[in-house]
Every structure is written in C-alpha cells, then in structure tokens.
Amino acid sequence: MGASVVLLEGHKMGGDCLNYGCVPSKALIAAGKQAYAMSHTGDLGVKAVKADVDFAAAKDHVRRVIETIEPVDSQERFEGFGVNVIREFGKFISPTEVQAGDTIIQARRFIVATGSGPFVPPIPGLEDVDVYTNENIFDLRTRPEHLIIVGGGPIGMEMAQAHLRLGCKVTVIEGAKAMGKDDPEMAAIVLDSLRAEGVEIIEDAQATKISGSKGAKSKVTVHTPKGDFTGSHLLMAVGRKVNVENLHLDKADVKWGRGGVEVGADLRSVSNKKVYAVGDAAGGLQFTHVAGYHAGVVIRSMLFGLPSKQRTDHIPWATYTDPELVQVGLTEAQAKEKFGGNVEVVRFPYHENDRAIAEGKTTGLIKVMVIKGKPVGASIVGAMAGELIGMWAMAIANKMKMSAIAATVLPYPTISEINKRAAGAYFTPRLFESPMVKRVVGLVQRWLP
C-alpha cells in the first residue's frame, strides 16, 4: 500500500506456527490419522490391517509439509514485496528507535509481533533429563517407547493421540482437569475417545518432581501426588510464555508484563502510542488466526488513520484431536452466567446426520447458545468440526440471526447440515409446538380456496 516497511526476524521466518506449531503438528496428526484408519475400518466392509508405521518417514512428511509452505513466509518473498528484511533480533533503544545487530531503525510506528514459546515450569529435577517441547519434538526421529506428556491442554492432547496412533505408549499428566478450558460436556467426549484408544490420562496430578537421566536409553519419572509415572521420553506442554522479555521495552516507555505488551482495544501500547502489539504479544488469545486478524486491525489504523478496534466474541478456536473440538463465542456456562435464563441452548447430535451415519463418524454434537434469535456462541465436537465452525464464526461476526442459518440451502448429504439442523432445532418449538401457530394454520386451511 506504499508504506516503507522494515521486518526484523532473528530466528526462522514463519515463526512458531510454521516451524514448531500449527503446521508440523497437523502434519503429524494426519500421519497418525492414516495409521488409525487402516486398523479401524469399522463396519464398512473393508478388512482392517495393522499399520506398518515408519516413525522417521512420518517425520519426513512433517518436514516436507513445512518446506512446501516455507516459500510463503520466506525472506525472498517479502523482499519481493519491497520489504527491507533484516535477519537479526530487535531491541528498543529509545521510544522511537530499535536496534537490530549493527543497524538502528528509526520509525513512526512499530509492531511487536514476537509470538510466544513453550513455558517450562521450574520442576525440581527437570535439568537432569532430556526435555522435549513443541520446539524440538518434531525433530525426534526415533519412536518413543513411552511418551510422558505433562499438560493436558490442546497441545498435550493433540500430541498424545498422534503419538499413540504412530505406535507409542502415551501417558498424559495434568495438574487440574484435562482440557479444562473447554466446555466440560464436549471435552468429555474427546477424553473418552482418547482413553478408548489407549491414552492414559491422569488428572489432578501436579508434577512435583522429575527424576531420570539423559541419553539414548534414558528413563524419566514424573512424581505426582497420585503416584509416579515412568516413561522413555518427556514432553512438556503446560502452556506458553510471550516473547517480550528481551525487547528492552522499558527503554521505549512501553508497559508490559508476563502476558505481553499492555495494549488497548486498538492494540496500541497504553504508554507509547507509536508501538502496537499483535498476536500472542498482545496478551490475548494465542492463535495464528488471531494474529492475522490483529494485522487487519492495526493496518487500518496505521496506514489510513482510521479508528479500529479488536473484538474477541467472534474468534473461533479448535483442538485437532479426533474427534475435533471447536468453539466460537460463549460456551454454555459463559452464556448462562452472562445472560441467565434468557439464553437458549439448541443441540443436534452427529448420529442423526445422514452423512455422518454413512461415514461411520457418528460421535459428537453441536450446541448453539442463542439470545433473542442471534447466536452468541457455538460448541462443536465431532468429525470436521473445525470446518463446521466457520458458519457460526461468520454469523456471530456479522450479527446474523438464526433464521439466516435456517434459510441456507446446503447440499445433501453433508456434515455441514448439522449446522442447519441446529438452527432448525431453535425454530422447532416455535413452529410445531405453538398453539398460536396451530390455530393460524387451522384458520388458513379452513378458509383457503
């Protein structure tokens, strides 16, 4: 759009998502899903066979996926746009200057988009064992005999199922409740599925100590109040820490904390209006698509001088287990807390969807929270849930009514009909259980020529 832009990157272009997060994890999940499908053909008339998993080859697949996407985020591509790319870490030296290596950049506006990295808590004994995080687990080419995962959130559960399906024994240790930030009813469906496959999930078991040794034949033991759990490899998946500590933000008069840069709804620093923060660095939801959304918010302000603020009520997020679990807007509990008895919760199960029946993927359901005819939240667990949530994200973002979903004609048979049937469930009592509607229909039928 004509602005002069300098991009600083001290590590890998594409950041965490491309190299250590969304992309490699989904590639590994895809390999695990293929292995599972071969040995679990259900009642479709196809004989199941034991998958011959080559763990190193699965990691080759992960690497190929990254390499295929890399050009989109490459230095060459951005330099082709006219961006001045400097491959150095940046740090503020004043409210209007950043230093990257030997280069000092003075600018009218700065965007902090440094993302986050894995948080490794100071558990006693952790320094004595080999510790894996999302930053190095995808480099492991030898299949773990028994993977111990500390942390039962989305990352922990995705990696647990993927590694189990690729031939590993897996134990997940969670200090509170596994998938505790999700709707409990929906999370229970996922956890039941993972346990049925063989993932051992230990809840309310805070890791108090780690013991073991390093090396190829090492063993690691996680000590908890519920007992000790020993495996061959340890993956820490307890959360994320924002990458802002080394930016010298204090020299730029930028307020910050453990959650990132302190920003207003316009994503500008509350203390230095020349500085913006987006994505994880802005201290909110930690998703790649949120960072992309934030980019649109700040571009409107920085390039055109127009008022622009972020909102979060329309942001979806997904956990790519099998079945998938996705959410946009308010959960059932959040909606009831905010709106009390005014909220209506409509539901529709997967096992009544014809395509799900045909595919043998009938585990799951959708719940939509509705206020005065408008959806304020949707929760979906089941096959392709990540694809289904888009309709509800659009509806909430544009303040659409349930009637807009109900009026949409969808091809039959598709999983997406679940969305339409959920909207239909909202109108069912109004159309088929209303005495007033029945009286009106009776009168019309009596007098209609």
The answer to whether 67 is a known ligand-binding residue is no
Does 437 reside within a domain? no
Q: Confirm or deny that 90 is annotated as ligand binding.
A: yes
Q: Are residues 206 and 269 in the same domain?
A: no
69: annotated binding-site residue?
Answer: no
Looking at the structure, tell me whether residues 296 and 212 fall in a common domain.
no
57 token code pair: 């080859």
Would the pTM of this model clear 0.75, i.e. be above it? yes
Q: For helices 417-432 and 435-447, give the axis angle rounded to 10 degrees.
A: 80
Residue 315: inside a domain: no
Pick from 72, 71, 52, 64: nearest CA to 27 = 64
Q: What digits encode the pLDDT tens for the residues 219-232? A: 999 999 999 999 99
- Compute CA distances 332 → 92, 186, 284, 291, 426, whole Å: 44, 11, 21, 26, 15
Instruction: State whether 228 and 201 are in the same domain.
Output: yes
Tell me: do 21 and 62 sit in the same domain. yes
- Asked whether residue 85 is assigned to any structural domain, the reply reads yes
pLDDT, averaged across the chain: 96
The total number of structural domains that make up the chain: 3
Residue 93 lies in a domain: yes
Same domain, 224 and 188: yes
CATH of the domain at 17: 3.50.50.60
Residue 157 known to bind ligand: yes
- Residues 89-124 pLDDT 10s: 999 999 999 999 999 999 999 999 999 999 999 999
List the beta strands (DSSP E) in 279-330: 316-319, 324-329
Q: Is 180 annotated as a binding residue?
A: no
Strand ranges for 262-319 from DSSP E: 275-277, 316-319
369 is in an annotated binding site: no
134 & 230 share domain: yes
Rounded distance, CA 38 to CA 63, Å?
23
Q: Is 360 helix (H, G, I), strand (E, B) or coil?
A: coil
Given 181, 210, 238, the domain boundary residue is 238
- What CATH number does residue 384 fall under? 3.30.390.30
Q: Are residues 176 and 89 in the same domain?
A: no
Q: Is 280 annotated as a binding residue?
A: yes
Question: Are 154 and 226 in a shared domain?
Answer: yes
Q: Are 346 and 332 a contacting pair, CB within 8 Å?
A: no
Q: Residue 146 is inside which H or E element, if any?
A: strand 146-150
- 234 and 245 in one domain? no
Q: Distance between CA 385 and CA 325 in Å, rounded? A: 6
Q: 419 and 349, same structural domain?
A: yes
In a domain, 395, yes or no: yes
Q: Does some domain include residue 246?
A: yes
| 115 among annotated binding-site residues | yes
116 labelled binding-site residue:
yes
Residue 43 is predicted with a pLDDT of 87
Q: Is 307 annotated as a binding residue?
A: no
Residue listed under structure tokens 């509806």: 395
Any binding-site annotation on 15?
no
More confident residue, 415 or 436: 415
153 is known to lie in a ligand binding site: yes
217 is in an annotated binding site: no
Phi and psi angles of residue 312, each rounded to the nearest 5 degrees, phi first: -120, -5
pLDDT in the model for residue 63: 97
- The SS3 call for residue 18 is helix
Say yes or no: 153 and 228 in one domain: yes
Helix (H) or strand (E) holding 223: strand 220-224
Tell me if 151 is assigned to a ligand binding site. yes
Contact predicate 100/11, CB 8 Å: no
- Within this chain, do residues 245 and 345 fall inside the same structural domain, yes or no? no
Its domain, for residue 168, covers 120-238
Residue 27 backbone dihedrals phi, psi, to 5 degrees: -65, -40
Q: What is the pLDDT of residues 422-438, one digit of tens each?
A: 999 999 888 787 888 88
66-86 tens-digit pLDDT: 999 999 999 999 999 999 999
Taking 80 as the threshold, does the pLDDT of residue 216 lie above it?
no
- Note the pLDDT of residue 449: 80
Q: Is 394 annotated as a binding residue?
A: no
Is residue 89 included in any domain, yes or no?
Answer: yes
